[in-house]
A and B are shown apart, each in its own frame.
Chain A
Amino acid sequence: NAGVTQTPKFRILKIGQSMTLQCTQDMNHNYMYWYRQDPGMGLKLIYYSVGAGITDKGEVPNGYNVSRSTTEDFPLRLELAAPSQTSVYFCASSYSAPGTGLALHFGNGTRLTVT
């Protein structure tokens, strides 16, 4: 049981390039999330999804796009990368609403640098 898998682990992008951060989970979780964590800061929610075909904006969605065509996959797309998007990106999932007490399961993170 792999849990939440994120790829790549590290990436360096040039300003203006685009890329997709992959996230897949094999736990049949309905809820999936993308957070970013800047150095010394808390996690900020970018986008989330409560089920296949449904996505919603979080606190900091600008510059990002997501899709949820299957229960397992929740890719995060960066268009026109900017230095402000340098961060660690975490994908997470939960079987039901995490506010009910179920833990969020996190991937290992993707460390992205935009120069």
Chain B
Amino acid sequence: RKEVEQDPGPFNVPEGATVAFNCTYSNSASQSFFWYRQDCRKEPKLLMSVYSSGNEDGRFTAQLNRASQYISLLIRDSKLSDSATYLCVPAGSSGDKLTFGTGTRLAVRP
């Protein structure tokens, strides 16, 4: 089983749509989780951390289900500028290393 599994997409959605991505991870010892965003041919950038209780940052909501070992990201009211690849990133048990998923590509159309 891969350490991190994500649906590669692409998810093609119209502006204003709500879209959700899921990610499963295999290391039950992972303590911290993140979503990074990567634009085409650019470096990844931290989008948000994922807390046990779930957290929201504007139009973005992240949730963690430890029992099922999956993480989700919900984007509401999609904008053209949200078009990117979203990387699911669990930290190793020591926190020193991050394991990046292959990402889910989102394309928002006018």
- Give the interface of A toward B (CB within 8 A): 31, 33, 35, 40-45, 48, 50, 58, 90, 97-101, 103-104, 106-109
Does any Cβ of A come within 8 Å of B108's Cβ?
no
- Give the interface of B toward A (CB within 8 A): 4, 8, 31-32, 34, 36, 42-46, 49, 87, 91-92, 94-103
Q: How far is the CA of A90 from the CA of B87 in the complex (A)?
A: 15
Q: How far is the CA of A81 from the CA of B91 in the complex (A)?
A: 30
Q: How far is the CA of A45 from the CA of B87 in the complex (A)?
A: 15
B102 in contact with A40 (CB, 8 Å): yes
Q: List 9 A-B contacts (CB under 8 A).
A: A40-B8, A42-B87, A45-B99, A99-B92, A99-B98, A100-B95, A104-B44, A104-B98, A108-B43
A90 in contact with B43 (CB, 8 Å): yes
Q: Which residues of A contact B99 (CB under 8 A)?
A: 45
A99 in contact with B95 (CB, 8 Å): yes
A-B pairs with the 8 shortest C-beta distances? A99-B95, A99-B91, A106-B43, A103-B46, A42-B102, A97-B95, A43-B100, A99-B32
Residue of A nearest to B102 (CB): A42
Known: A42-B4, A45-B97, A97-B94. 7 other contacts (CB 8 A): A40-B102, A58-B97, A90-B43, A98-B97, A101-B32, A101-B49, A103-B46
Q: How far is the CA of A42 from the CA of B8 in the complex (A)?
A: 10
B96 in contact with A50 (CB, 8 Å): yes
Q: How far is the CA of A107 from the CA of B103 in the complex (A)?
A: 19
Q: How far is the CA of A58 from the CA of B100 in the complex (A)?
A: 13
Contact of B32 among A45, A50, A100 (CB under 8 A): A100
Q: Which residues of B contact A58 (CB under 8 A)?
A: 97
Residue of B nearest to A50 (CB): B96
* A44, A48, A58, A106 interface centre (most CB from chain B within 10 Å): A106
Q: How far is the CA of A44 from the CA of B97 in the complex (A)?
A: 11
Q: Which residues of A contact B42 (CB under 8 A)?
A: 108-109
B108 to nearest A CB, angstroms? 20
Q: How far is the CA of A58 from the CA of B49 in the complex (A)?
A: 23
B43 in contact with A109 (CB, 8 Å): yes
